[in-house]
Structure 1
Amino acid sequence: MRRHFERYGLNPEKPVLHLINLNAVEHEALALLIGLSSRSTRSVRIDIARLDAVLRDAGLASSLHEALEKLDGPIVNRAEAKAELQSRWSRVTDDQGLHPTLCAWLQGASTVGLLKRVSKQSPQTAHQLLRQAHMIMGRLPAQGLTRAQLAADTLGNAHALDNGQAVATVVLAALQYGANNDKQEQPPSEEADGTPRPTERVRDIWARSGVLVNELARPALFLNLPVRTPSASLAAQGEPGYLSLRLLLRTPPVWDVADQIIYVCENPNIVSIAADRLGTACAPLVCTDGMPAAAQRVLLKQLVDSGAKLLYHGDFDWAGIHIANNVMKLYECSPWRFGAADYLQAIESAPPKDRDLEETGVAASWDPDLIEAMQSRGMAIAEEAVASLLVNDLR
């Protein structure tokens, strides 16, 4: 009986109860209550209005619905409750007056699922999280502000934006969604061979908005980068230097690189070799140190925004091609001795060795012939193996 009201409520268009799987005792009780035939049956249909009248006449309750609630507590109309919950979530996702990036993110297909997860299925909590995220977004982009300070100043809790916190999850999702819809900043969702691209690191997402997280970790290695004011030189000319994320965001250098070529390599050893052999005569050089982290990303973007033209070289292995695909796409780099012909030339001068490349390769976005050349020869060539050729270009 409760299930009927849970499903249909007090809908007058559903005036009949259909009870099934009755045992003899249950049938006898109903027969005595409303005058059914004494012949026992497994199912019976009962007019609800008739049962309401019997209960009123007996002074037990004003209706069957009321009687059931007296016995076992309130009856929740599931359809109405579901509709009300859907309405509350619609009001959350249609929230007006939020930061434009949040509003755009709220239209995404996966947004409601994420909001429900971080709010533990509570529309009210989700609404509060969006208001907090709106406050954070209003402070962005920052200029070298630490994440803890941003959280403390805006939300009154220095740990509110720590990894895993609900409001941090919302802000990061919105920031990443915004970046993925900005064509100039959009990283590829997959590599040229169709393999998924790794999720962008949290520290990099914050850094893109000028917020520091572990700002001294993995500084960017460089050599002879020109700045507009000589007295503001970041390292002794001819000596490798490091730029922390903290410095790049808080006091960004004024780069003097308009229309200049900046060489970019994957491995720190190339910078060391270039400094040893060329010193002050070396062309400007930046190292990604593998997949670029926050400091490297910020530096490369600053150089591109200042008018530099980037040339990139990395390891001739699948990881190196994967890194290069991302760097080439994000910073509109051109290859630097990093095509199929360059690989084959490097193979000819390399010492004999066994095949060490896996058969499953990664296509190079800048040279469709490179994957075939690497698969046919099956040998990885480290960037250091062609250091002499690279250094000659840096003269």
Structure 2
Amino acid sequence: MSTPDERLHRLLGGPELAVVRQRLRRQFERIESDTPLVSVRLGRLDPATHRALCQLSGKPSRLSRSMILDLPDLDARLRNAGVADSLRDALERLDGPIVSLVGSRRELQSRWAATAKTPGLGPRLRAWLDESPAAPGLLKRLGRDPERAKALLVAADAVLERLPVAGMPRSQLAAETLGDAHALDTGKSAAALVLAGWRWHESAAAGQSRAVSGQAWAEQAASEDADAAIERPRDVWARAGVAVSELARPVLFLNLPAPFGGQCAWIAGEPSYLSLRQLLRDRPAWPVAGRSIHVCENPDIVAVAADRLGAACAPLVCTDGMPAAAQRVLLGQLVSAGARLRYHGDYDWPGIGIGNFVIRTWRAAPWRFSAVDYRVAVAQAPSRPRNLAGGMVEAQWDAELTAAMSEWGLAIAEEAVVGQLLDDLRLDVDR
């Protein structure tokens, strides 16, 4: 008498049924082990496979490319023949264990849920994990598997619990906290988690809870797309007191008042610079409560103001285009000290985008930066063809400005209206 294994191989294990076995295995992978079997349709069968299936199932052999296979009947036939406990058992004996994808997904979801509840995390990272709708997706994308994600959470939490610092280089923070000077470099997973957690902490500290979902979350996230698109990682690090490229692109200014108790290294009437290193390591105590600080976009405005007004010019800060880390830190410090910012920039679409960011971020007032001011500038500008290029940007502080610029189609550089700006700077001092 043949052994059960020999009979099983003869019935179901031949090469002509290899494709069928693979299809049946996939069928079992998609269901739980205790799910009742049903009939399945097998198509695109070659003649040899069809004949073997007919012999296996007891159906008459006829020319066909498909067959409805009664799995409960086949399961019973194998069990009654004593060659296997079930159809699933037969397939596993022939080709190895069958892993239920449903069970695997459920088990993986359980592991991810446990990762999100990792004990011992500090309040900042815990708040981000529990309240941010974006947290689960970012954690899975960065971690790729629950165990690696848990290690990333522990690393990010260790960094977040040290923040803010006072001008510490990012490499030093990474080396002291994680043992690797490059662990927080741009593009590293731990850095991405730290930045996400710190942004959430900033929002919570400002009373801007984001614990929303569904349509409300989508609308809120869309409103912040512009800021997110222009905010670089080093700008977020700077707000946490961490210096990245701390000597790159210092902030240009003119006649800022000397900080309380600090050393003033600049000369009245002469343009000066402050690096991110200086702003973070020895945070100045600016005596500007209730004062207006004018902010321009272009360095040439500072140069002209210094030439024509010198020490008689009101305090003036330059963003030098879109503010970088040093510019953002200084503007934030001035506002925190009670200053009121007044902003002017170029009348072109990039200039309007920068204006939106400055006015929105630091609640600055527009400074001669309205539809009325634009029309005056156009009237005084030399006659020329329309030169306003690029995609239109809505001026969030003055919808009529966008309409006026679209109508006239002329870009007006900030330098072209410097005379009016100087009048304001001089009058501000005189008052």
TM-score normalised over the length of structure 2 = 0.80
State the partner residue of 1:133: 156
Cα gap change, 1:3 to 1:52, in 2 (>3 Å): farther
Tell me which moved more, 244-253 or 230-239: 230-239
State the partner residue of 1:48: 75
Q: Distance in 2 between matches of 1:268 and 1:103?
A: 43
Contact 2:170 2:243 (8 Å CA) reproduced: yes
State the partner residue of 2:112: 89
Alignment of 1:159-308 (within 5 A): 159-179=182-202, 183=206, 198-229=229-260, 232-308=263-339
| 3-state SS in 2 of match to 1:232 | coil
| 3-state SS in 2 of match to 1:344 | helix
Contact 2:160 2:197 (8 Å CA) reproduced: no
| 3-state SS in 2 of match to 1:286 | strand
Could you tell me which of 345, 350, 353 is aligned with 2:376? 345
Could you tell me which of 176, 189, 192 is aligned with 1:153? 176
Could you tell me which of 143, 149, 153 is aligned with 1:119? 143
Contact 2:349 2:390 (8 Å CA) reproduced: no
1:213 Cα deviation from its structure 2 partner: 0.8
Matched, 1:142 2:165: yes
Alignment of 1:313-392 (within 5 A): 313-358=344-389, 361-392=392-423
Q: Distance in 2 between matches of 1:74 and 1:190?
A: 47
1:143 Cα deviation from its structure 2 partner: 1.2
Matched, 1:109 2:109: no
Contact 1:260 1:307 (8 Å CA) reproduced: yes
Q: Which amino acid aligns with 1:323?
A: I
Q: Distance in 2 between matches of 1:296 and 1:226?
A: 17
Residue by residue over 1:102-124, the C-alpha shift from the partner in whole angstroms, topping out at 9 and shown as x without a partner, is: 3333343333332222223x111
1:65 Cα deviation from its structure 2 partner: 3.5
Cα gap change, 1:253 to 1:66, in 2 (>3 Å): same
Cα gap change, 1:191 to 1:124, in 2 (>3 Å): closer
Matched, 1:30 2:56: yes
1:206 Cα deviation from its structure 2 partner: 1.0
| 3-state SS in 1 of match to 2:270 | coil
Q: Which amino acid aligns with 2:134?
A: S
Q: Distance in 2 between matches of 1:153 and 1:293?
A: 27
Q: CA RMSD in A?
A: 2.8
Cα gap change, 1:5 to 1:282, in 2 (>3 Å): same
Contact 1:315 1:321 (8 Å CA) reproduced: yes
| 3-state SS in 2 of match to 1:133 | helix
Alignment length (residue pairs): 383
Q: Which amino acid aligns with 2:52?
A: E
Q: Which stretches in structure 1 are left out of the alignment for 5+ residues?
A: none
Residue by residue over 1:358-394, the C-alpha shift from the partner in whole angstroms, topping out at 9 and shown as x without a partner, is: 4853232222321222222222211111112212222
1:263 Cα deviation from its structure 2 partner: 0.9
Q: Which amino acid aligns with 1:368?
A: A
- Identity fraction in percent: 49
Q: Distance in 2 between matches of 1:298 and 1:279?
A: 25
Tell me which moved more, 175-184 or 277-286: 175-184
1:317 Cα deviation from its structure 2 partner: 1.5
Q: Which amino acid aligns with 1:65?
A: R
Cα gap change, 1:104 to 1:184, in 2 (>3 Å): closer
Contact 1:191 1:325 (8 Å CA) reproduced: no
Tell me which moved more, 162-171 or 344-353: 344-353
Q: Which stretches in structure 2 are left out of the alignment for 5+ residues?
A: 1-23, 210-219, 427-431
Contact 2:241 2:280 (8 Å CA) reproduced: yes
Cα gap change, 1:38 to 1:270, in 2 (>3 Å): closer
Contact 2:260 2:284 (8 Å CA) reproduced: no
Q: Which amino acid aligns with 1:131?
A: V
1:308 Cα deviation from its structure 2 partner: 0.9
Could you tell me which of 109, 122, 127 is aligned with 1:99? 122
Q: Distance in 2 between matches of 1:355 and 1:191?
A: 31
Q: Which amino acid aligns with 2:197?
A: A
Cα gap change, 1:239 to 1:37, in 2 (>3 Å): closer
Contact 2:167 2:242 (8 Å CA) reproduced: yes
Tell me which moved more, 305-314 or 348-357: 348-357
Q: Distance in 2 between matches of 1:228 and 1:246?
A: 16
Contact 2:262 2:284 (8 Å CA) reproduced: no
Contact 2:254 2:271 (8 Å CA) reproduced: yes
Q: Distance in 2 between matches of 1:269 and 1:169?
A: 37
